Amino acid sequence: MNTTLDSPVSAVAPVPAPVKNDPSRCPYIYSNGKRCRLPGLRAHHGFCLGHSKHITPVPFPANSYDDSEDLSPDLLPQLSEFDSALDVKLFLARLLVLVTKGRVSPRRASVLAYITNQLLHSHHAIDRKHASDLANRPLTIDFGDFTCRAR
């Protein structure tokens, strides 16, 4: 009797081995060295839903802004007081340049812009007050020796 297995019927078909670097699978590695079999999700950086909780989030880079830096030489070179709307406009233009260069944080810039907005509104209030004071004051015309007052 022939005991060799030459017949194709008795041969077992080979099972394909799972690919270790399959990009569609979750890249989580268990402590025993085996990889997770679940499909990875793009929204979870390639990890499956269960293992996305185990990954440590990558921290954002540290804020490169120094909000305690003195910016008065750059923002206020010739401006001593904000007496007019033109001074406020020049200040805001310089602030915009510093924000776009990355020297001022957006948060600090919004605070400074809010303060200048309040200054601008106070200028309008002062102007309205002066205009109402002038309107309520009696008109005086001086002709030298003769003074005439209108009511």
Give me the residue spans of the domains in the chain.
21-56, 76-130
Burial of residue 41 (CB within 10 Å: 0-12, 13-18, 19+) is: middle
Does pTM surpass 0.75? no
Whether the pLDDT of residue 41 is over 80: the answer is yes
The strand pair at 139-142 and 147-150 is best described as antiparallel
DSSP H or E segment with residue 140 = strand 139-142
Q: What is the pLDDT of residue 149?
A: 59
Spatial distance between the Cα atoms of 21 and 46, rounded to a whole number of angstroms: 12
Residue carrying structure tokens 């209108």:
150
Q: What is the mean pLDDT of residues 58-62?
A: 54
Spatial distance between the Cα atoms of 37 and 34, rounded to a whole number of angstroms: 9
DSSP H or E segment with residue 150 = strand 147-150
Q: What is the pLDDT of residue 111?
A: 92
- What 3-state DSSP class applies to 26? coil
Q: Which of 41, 6, 4, 1 is nearest to 24 (CA)?
A: 41
DSSP label of 151: -
Backbone phi, psi, residue 65, to 5°? -90, 140
Bridge partner residues of 140 (DSSP): 149
Task: Assess contact for 45 and 55: CB atoms under 8 A.
Answer: yes
Q: What is the mean pLDDT of residues 73-97?
A: 80
